[in-house]
Structure 1
Amino acid sequence: MNAGSWTTFHLLKQDWKFWPLAGTGRDVVKARGLVNCGSICHSLRPACNSFNWYPGNLTCEMVNTVNAFLEDAPSAMAYVNASSVCNTSPPALENRTMNFLYGWNGSLPAPFLSEVSYDCPLFSRCPPLIPLKAKCVGPNTWQLLNVNVTPPCSANTQGYELSTEDGRMYKRYPGPMNRTEASRVCCQDGAILASDTSGITYDSIRMVAPDTNETILQGATDEVVEGTWIYEDSSFSQVNNTPITSYNWWGTNDSLPVGQQQAPNGGRDKNCLSLLAEYWFDIPCSTELPFVCQYY
């Protein structure tokens, strides 16, 4: 759509509108038609570079898209300056893959406000709570979003020690954190939450967490099926609280009432796992403890 011979606008989205408005003092006006609405916006540039058009009542809303976003608005039509599109691709980031969002399929030009999110395959088990994104915010201008809150996509080996027992790397975190939080910390290092799954692994854990009087978290849970323990180390599992190998170190807590002393004893109330000395104890998943991460 051409507003006279000055500026070309194109329809960005039907039944949506830009918000907030421009703040020109003429934000909402009546217009004779779509072209007239575009002409008014053009006359108010640079305060106005887009507009919302309501053909049902001939209402025209002037918008500046610097801080604008789209919101659902039945019967509205969001128009944007055609020069605001991105003819260039979003920036490629090392170790990350792109996902196209909000109906954009990646073809160019990218409409104004098109977005991509970036996945880090290293963190496929634990995607960041706030993903890294890029948004088309102006002519061939992509803005990176959430840079300061999204973890970098690279393995973090700082503070890890190499175990001569199994050739893997381990690091103790003082926490305290619950299992979900601890698992995310390990995953964002490129590691897993360590568990005592063999004598060799136990010795490696003790290399970085030597205090056997300290209870530490393990990377296992039976939240889905009671008694079936699923480990972050997928090579190890327990069914009916019995390991699939002969390695079995369920502990006894003499301070508990008779009949409840032998672990596991918590039923649906204790769906996570801890390590105290060389023994396993089931604990509530809300329990916050130190933990060990393991590169696998």
Structure 2
Amino acid sequence: MPVEPWSVATLAVRAGMTAYSERQQIASTWHRIITKIMHRQSSIAITGVGGVGKTVLSDYLSGEGLSIHYSTPGRSVNQERKELYSSKRLTALTIVPGQVSPQKDKSLDELFDGRRRVDGVIHVVSNGFITLREQDARELAQEHNDLERFREFQRNKEVEEFKELISYVKSSHRKGKGPSWLLLAVNKVDLYYEDTSLKGAYRHYAAPGGQFFACLDQLGASLGRTDFEWDALPVCASLSDFIWEEEGVQSMLLPDQRNKLLLGLLKAIDDRISAS
């Protein structure tokens, strides 16, 4: 579990520990992780609410997103359907659709009750900075027309989504199919990369007293501390500003800072796969 609050200083130390050749190192580390998982005939799951950035984050973790030719998935209906229903599946990786749908339920059932063992889960959250389709945004704006109310609403949705995931993890563990670890990837940190906001995100996602900590601590107690571990790590993929209604937040990270945080998450995944 997280051992210290997040701050610009502590994240800089983490980043410095992984500050080697960025694009090549990201791609080679991801390839090593996928090779290990395929050899075991198991899988990694990437979960989280719709619009949290699961597919984009996975693209950056693999190195694909760092290409100058990479195009971030847009908001059109066709592209959203491709992301949700094709799920960008690899042999060793499943990205679970985020929107409430029969496809999401089917994906979760197949993942946690299927033939393959689930080694671990990367659950993506984003501190309320959720990207919505145009129609969803219009409907939500009627009740949450300022940024803080919007973000609070989305953070509450993340909590409910996470509680549902925990029930699947418990069920899968009872059947001897894992997972043995869960990493909470607190995404889009480039939008709140200053000490006050970082500490607020830490309290919400990683500190005792928060709902995510309570869920994970109880899960670890029920599954056995030696059989299940978790951590929460700030990360980001595409460096882009966020706008809700007439309010905006600027991205505050440089590409090399972003890449080092990606490497930090990859190292955490690789360490857990190697140890399990």
TM-score when normalising by structure 1: 0.21
Task: Answer 1 or 2: which has greater helix percent.
Answer: 2
TM-score when normalising by structure 2: 0.22
Pair member with larger Rg: 1
Higher relative CO (CA 8 A, sep ≥ 6), structure 1 or 2?
2
Task: Answer 1 or 2: which has greater strand percent.
Answer: 1
